[in-house]
Amino acid sequence: MTVEYSQSLYSIVWLGLSVHIVRCFLGAVTAPARKPVKMKRYCVDDFLVHEASGVCQVKAIIRQDLMGTGTEREYYDLNPVFENRSHVITPVESNRQRVRSVSSQRTMKEIFSRLADLELIEIKGDRQRAEYYRQILLNQDPMEMARLIKTIYYRNHMRIAQGKKTMSQDERTMSAAKKKLFDEMAFILKDSQEALEIKFCEILDRDDPSRELMDKRKTRKRRI
């Protein structure tokens, strides 16, 4: 009886596993391929923003089989404006947005006028917050990057005011966001990254929530 039961159980498990394998195979065969994202087409000498290299100029549009698939694709040959690398190659069409148009002067000036009113990013979980930050960097929206910088800037100041160390992950994220935002600002507004960052931080310092806590700590030390 025990042997028969074991054999029956084995048969059921094997049948279930076989069905699962077949379903996975059929799913892999019939699953539609990811279509390239429809993106604006740029011309030689146009400026654009690349996901990793920031503001770039299109030097050429080439056709190559860079992936070794036997099928040629079109690629932008880009010259980064603020990096020493001679060129960057990125596909004209992709299943995700790798490049976008440079922002307008109006957008960049609006960041300064709206900065004080931008809401901070309030996410409690470290992993969820890190993933949210990562998506902002990938999407490259200037206003959202300004919001990200503001959030980490105040978060760091509050930790320092509480006698804590800043988080290394926050520091890296803010550094990446600053590089992306202030490089593009410098290109659009014809100013230096340093001057624009100083102006940005001066606005943040006016309403820094850590100031009151820092003043209390200084007062307490004087009493001691």
State the pLDDT at residue 220. 55
Mean pLDDT of 146-154: 97
Taken in order 64, 65, 67, 71, is the CA torsion positive or negative? positive
Q: Which domain holds residue 113?
A: 105-219
- Do residues 117 and 207 both lie within one domain? yes
* Matching residue, tokens 């920031």: 54
pLDDT band at 32 (very low <50, low <70, confident <90, very high): very low
Of 56, 79, 101, at which residue does a domain stop? 101
Is this prediction's pTM over 0.85? no
Assigned domain for 18 exists: no
Assigned domain for 122 exists: yes
- Do residues 141 and 212 both lie within one domain? yes
Assigned domain for 11 exists: no
Distance of CA 84 to the CA centre of its chain: 22
pLDDT band at 95 (very low <50, low <70, confident <90, very high): confident
- Do residues 124 and 150 both lie within one domain? yes
* Matching residue, tokens 């019939």: 30
Assigned domain for 69 exists: yes
- Do residues 63 and 75 both lie within one domain? yes
Assigned domain for 124 exists: yes
Strand order in the sheet with 73-80: 88-91, 73-80, 54-64, 47-50, 99-101
Mean pLDDT of 174-185: 97
DSSP string, 25-83: HHHHHHSPPPPPB------TT-EEEETTTEEEEEEEEEEE-TTSSS--EEEEEEEESSS
Mean pLDDT of 147-170: 95
Q: How many domains does the chain have?
A: 2
Q: Is 148 in contact with 118 (CB distance < 8 Å)?
A: no
Of 84, 101, 118, at which residue does a domain stop? 101
Assigned domain for 62 exists: yes
Assigned domain for 172 exists: yes
State the pLDDT at residue 215. 60
- Do residues 149 and 188 both lie within one domain? yes
